Structures are given as C-alpha cells and as structure tokens.
Homo-oligomer: A and B are copies of this chain.
Amino acid sequence: MITKCERNESVEPLVPPVNFADVEDGVYRSGFPQPSNFAFLQTLHLRSIIYLCPEPYPKENLEFLEAHNIRLFQFAIAGTKELSVDVLRDIITETLKLLIDVRIHPVLIHCKQGKHRTGCVVGSLRKLQNWCLSSVLEEYKLYAGVKSRDTDLKFLETYDVSYLQQSLQTIIYQYQGYSSIKQRRLL
C-alpha cells in the first residue's frame, strides 16, 4: 500500500497503482488506479484499459480516460471464487482475445486488488505464451501473496489454451520495437 512519498523539489514523485507491474512490452497489470496514480499512468501512454469488475467505472477515472484518449474495455467478472469454472473460462478467453491484439496496446489490465481476476488473466496469457505451469503459478502467487486462492490455481492448471493457440498460430503476432533493435513475438 502506498503510505508515504518522498519529496522532490522540482517534480512530484510518481505513484504507481498498487500491485503495478509490467507483464509484457505494452501490457501492464495493477490494482484499481486511484486519482493519485493518474500522473504515473500518463507516463505509460496507454491506449486502453481492460477492467475486470462488474461495478461501474468511477466518474473521475472515466474523465481521466477521456482526457487522455484511453479506451475502456470492461469484462464483468463477479469474482473468481463466485463464478463457475465454465463462465470464468469463457470470460477469460474473451479477455485474452482482446489482450493479445497489439492494436489496443499499451494496455493496463486491472481489477480491484490486482491479485485474483488480474492474476487469472495474466496466468492464462502465460499459458498461451507456453510458459511452464509452475512458473505461471509462481507468478500468480507473487502478486496474490497471502491472498492466493486454490480455486484460481486450479483454474490456471486446467484452463486449456490449445484451441486459442491453434487459431492464433495462423496469424503472425509480430511487432517491432526500439527502432530496428528489437523484434519480438508476443506468442
């Protein structure tokens, strides 16, 4: 939790949202952004936000998005422990299809705490990227900490990305960065 900020005489320090992290180039994760995080979010030059809760987006956050031309995509996941595995799987798949579309990048994925819903989406992305399951689970647990849920770990273990993977392998998801220095595949 953000409790204290250092002072800088010239520039106000930047406060990332709670549980903020880079996931991939142009893909970020976090807990719910507060107005105190808006200056930091500006530095990411976001094109989109993927919001994973059913509650309406707060007015001041909507105003921030509008002011910076950031598109909001909402996937109403009531809560990873409240939903049936079938429903959660379908929503996560729809979220993933959007998330890997580089035209919406840079994108921030967030829920409330950046632990469970966000952890399930990022974990599923890692499976799509063919990460070893134990590393997927380790990453989930890193951000969930003591709030780690067995239901989420079980979901990540059983979530089958093979259909999505096969569909995507017919399309090249390649993008370039750092002028000619960098060339990398998301999948």
Q: Which residues of chain A have a CB within 8 Å of any CB of chain B? A: 1-6, 8, 11, 13-16, 20-26, 40, 43-45, 47, 102-103, 105-106, 129-135, 138, 142-143, 175-179, 181-185
A17 to chain B: closest residue by CB: B135
The A interface, classified by DSSP as helix, strand, loop or mixed, is loop
A145 to chain B: closest residue by CB: B142
A2-B135, A102-B181 known; 20 new pairs, CB 8 Å cut-off, are: A3-B134, A5-B132, A5-B133, A6-B132, A8-B130, A11-B130, A13-B131, A13-B132, A16-B132, A22-B23, A22-B25, A25-B26, A26-B177, A105-B178, A105-B182, A106-B178, A106-B184, A175-B177, A175-B179, A177-B177
**Chain B nearest CB, measured from A37 CB (Å):** 10
Flag if B13 contacts A130 (CB, 8 Å): yes
Contacts of A22 on B, CB cut-off 8 Å?
21-25
A26 to B136, CA, bound (A): 21
